[in-house]
Amino acid sequence: MHELSITQNIVAIVAEHAHGLKVQRVLLEIGQLSAIMPDAIRFCFDICSQGTVLEGAKLEISEIAGLGKCCQCGSEIPLTQPFGQCQCGSQQINLIAGQELKIKEIEIEEICV
């Protein structure tokens, strides 16, 4: 399950950017063609965040649909797998969305001084 090591890296990156402050929320973007299972990331997040500034943080995941662009006619087509065929008949499709894994937002506890 590669999601465990991916989640460990996400927690480490967010913790580094939080500079010791408590993280309230993390928003990830995960492409539907990325071979990363959002439910597995959710499961691993609670485990990996224990004892860190992310412990108790809310994890939100936005799933990005697969999208390709035909090299022949330039049409954009929805994809449910990393290959496909355009209505023009071409199978030369460039993936333009759906393989993402991004830490999109981090919400950190405010400090009142």
Residue-wise pLDDT tens digits, 101-110: 999 999 998 7
Give pLDDT, residue 110: 77
For the entire predicted model, the pTM comes to 0.84
- Known binding residue 73? Answer is yes
- Known binding residue 71? Answer is no
What is the CATH number for 36?
A: 3.30.2320.50
- For residue 86, being part of any structural domain is answered with no
CA proximity to 52, closest of 5, 25, 26, 14:
14
CA proximity to 57, closest of 48, 65, 68:
48
Eight-class DSSP state of 21: P
On the 0-12 / 13-18 / 19+ scale of CB atoms within 10 A, 14 is: buried
Query: Which residues form the domain of 33?
Result: 3-66+98-108
- For residue 72, being part of any structural domain is answered with no
- For residue 23, being part of any structural domain is answered with yes
Task: Tell me the per-residue pLDDT of 77-93, one tens digit each, with 9 for 90 and over.
Answer: 999 998 889 999 999 99
- Known binding residue 2? Answer is yes
Cα–Cα distance for residue pair 59/56, rounded to 1 Å: 9
Work out how many domains the chain is built from and give that number.
1
How confident is the model over 63-68, as a mean pLDDT?
96
- Known binding residue 112? Answer is no
- Known binding residue 48? Answer is no
Task: Tell me the per-residue pLDDT of 39-57, one tens digit each, with 9 for 90 and over.
Answer: 999 999 999 999 999 999 9
- For residue 48, being part of any structural domain is answered with yes
Q: Which residues contact 22 (CB under 8 A, 6 or more apart)?
A: 53, 108, 109
